[in-house]
Amino acid sequence: MYRGVILILIYILTSVYAFQAIKTISKSNVIQYIFIGVAVLIAGNFIYQFLVGSEGRVLSPSKSYAFGFLLAFMSFNLVVIPILIGEDIIRAVLGLYDRLVTTKETFYLPSRRKFISQIAVGLAAIPLASLLYGMYRGKYRFRVLEYALHFEDLPEAFDGYRITQISDIHSGSFDNRKKIAYGIDLINQQASDVIMFTGDMVNNKADEMLPWADLFSQLKAKDGVYSILGNHDYGDYIDWPSPDAKAQNLADLAHIQKTMGYDLLLNESRYIERDGQRIAIVGVENWGKGGFKKAGDLKKAAEAISPDDFKILLSHDPSHWDECVLHDDYHYHLTLSGHTHGMQFGIEIPGWVKWSPVKWRYKHWAGMYEQFNKYLNVNRGFGYLGYPGRVGIWPEVTVITLKKGSNNA
């Protein structure tokens, strides 16, 4: 709660200061009252949802929107304020100069210039509009990213094998059944041989998935749907009445996945066979660097497979690849992860720029990476969490085609 209090205090203070730009631009009381009204409405909704609401720490869609609007409006404030502060410093210097050099009897502070405030508001409108767009359009702007990976030791029978990866569903955040149904159809349209889901089916509670289970049970592939758990699936971020209730929630989620037709791998492995040849699918529970749950046990998950097998690893958090997978005795040819969401905010222009603030937290945060002839794909996520939108980092369906041979072949 204390974080929410600090956030709302910062928001109020920045809004008061940003209001000075509105006053400078428009002398109309109507415009000023609209700004004040919107600011108060957003603050009031946030306070109700996060500080006095009855849902506790559960992050519902209504809470997400309260946070999203606060974030969007605060972005406006935070762009306006540095420009106004810069102008205020100049005004103060000019006032002191006028007082000391011209020996006027009183200190006079020059008034704000309208065009400076217009520039500030114009620039601030860019992140405001972007965040609002992300909330209403960006979060369901699904895109398909395709990769072809070459391996000399890929079994011949799996040359051309197609994998569709999705990650981070976060069903507790969804609010548009039609858009989700479109996303499901898009996944099935890829006609891949197998579908792999790399964790975070819910935000906190298993029952968040119930309204959407019928849609996600429509995912079909010839070799099935494999899944693992992400850090949010364990229910670690809300309060439970008892340890048994928390354990039951995880059991309920596993049961839901089973009824949907998913093969949930809990530090386990499976084989997919074709024409007498096979590849190994290994799935670990969540293993995250820092304070994230470390339930993943790579040794246990791989105990039933051979070192010589071609191996695909499902591990939710990409930090696991850096910390454990790369230097493991077994050679994991391809690791599929998610978790970062690309922070749901960034700039990506293929072949030119790829940036998000999440890069300061994760070395590998979106897309395909290669090291020691091992590959890691970090899916940007199907859903969203916290901020109910996406800006520049769109929801992703990944399609990976396995090819036998080298890249130079």
CATH of 143-404, one of 1.10.287.130, 3.90.1200.10, 1.10.10.10, 3.60.21.10: 3.60.21.10
408 or 64, higher pLDDT? 64
Domain boundaries, the chain: 2-136, 143-404
Alpha carbons 219 and 257: distance in angstroms, whole number? 12
- Give pLDDT, residue 290: 87
- Give pLDDT, residue 58: 75
Average pLDDT, the chain: 94
Helix (H, G, I), strand (E, B) or coil at 37: helix
User: What number is the average pLDDT over the span 87-93?
Assistant: 88
Q: For residue 153, is pLDDT > 80? A: yes
- Give pLDDT, residue 229: 98
Q: For residue 102, is pLDDT > 90? A: no
* pLDDT tens per residue across span 328-357: 999 999 999 999 999 999 999 988 899 999
Alpha carbons 374 and 332: distance in angstroms, whole number? 7
Whose tokens are 């709660």? That residue is: 1
User: What number is the average pLDDT over the span 10-14?
Assistant: 93
* pLDDT tens per residue across span 175-184: 999 999 999 9
Q: Which two tokens stand for residue 303?
A: 């105990």
214 or 93, higher pLDDT? 214
Binning pLDDT at 50, 70 and 90, where does residue 107 land? low
- Give pLDDT, residue 1: 62
Alpha carbons 208 and 249: distance in angstroms, whole number? 11
Q: For residue 106, is pLDDT > 80? A: no
The angle subtended at Cα 313 by Cα 311 and Cα 318, nearest 5°, is 140
| 336 strand-pairing partners | 314, 377
- Give pLDDT, residue 103: 61
- Give pLDDT, residue 5: 87
Strands (DSSP E) contained in 172-235 are 194-197, 225-227
Percent of the chain scoring above 90 in pLDDT: 84
Helix (H, G, I), strand (E, B) or coil at 35: helix
User: What number is the average pLDDT over the span 223-240?
Assistant: 96
Q: For residue 409, is pLDDT > 70? A: no
The pTM is what? Answer: 0.93
